[in-house]
Amino acid sequence: MALFDDYFYEFFQAEVLAGLIYKLRNSPPDRYACLVAESPTDANSESQKDLVGVVDVTALRDNDVLKHLDGAQEYLYVSGLAVSKSFRRRKIASCLLKACDMLSILWGFNFIALRAYEDDFGARKLYSNAGYRVVSGDPPWFTSWIGRRRRVLMIKQCTNNFLNLL
């Protein structure tokens, strides 16, 4: 069974990497970004830094989200926020979210949206502390018919001032 799981994990990794490469090659530079956090290294060391966190940011126009955004035509969508287990609880996710804020200013977006699982209180606290607020949730039939965990839509109105981010 472990071999079976390893095979599918490798397949999953390859699919994620292929999707990332496709987005990076085919998206205009102000429509998609993959932001990363690297581990600190000794200034005298020439060793390669390790990747410890990642987040995807995409410009979108989904009407289910836009109805919550006063007058917006599009917004930035944050997805795939992940931090390596050995680097969690060190504010790396918060820094990645700040980088998303900076990107929203650089690209001229007024809103950032993301989805979190309703029962993932740790993630929801992280997003709330970063200024996101819950505006809606998946419909009740979503969990019963499809069998997936219910998610909430969280929105943040961006500031257009770099100084407010510091």
List active site positions.
127
Nearby residues of 102 by Cβ (< 8 Å), 6 or more positions away: 162, 165
Give residue for tokens 């390790």: 50
- Surface-to-core class of residue 65, CB atoms within 10 Å of its CB (0-12 exposed, 13-18 middle, 19+ buried): buried
C-alpha span between 10 and 159 (Å, rounded): 40
Nearby residues of 3 by Cβ (< 8 Å), 6 or more positions away: none
Q: Which secondary-structure segment (H or E) carries 20?
A: helix 2-26
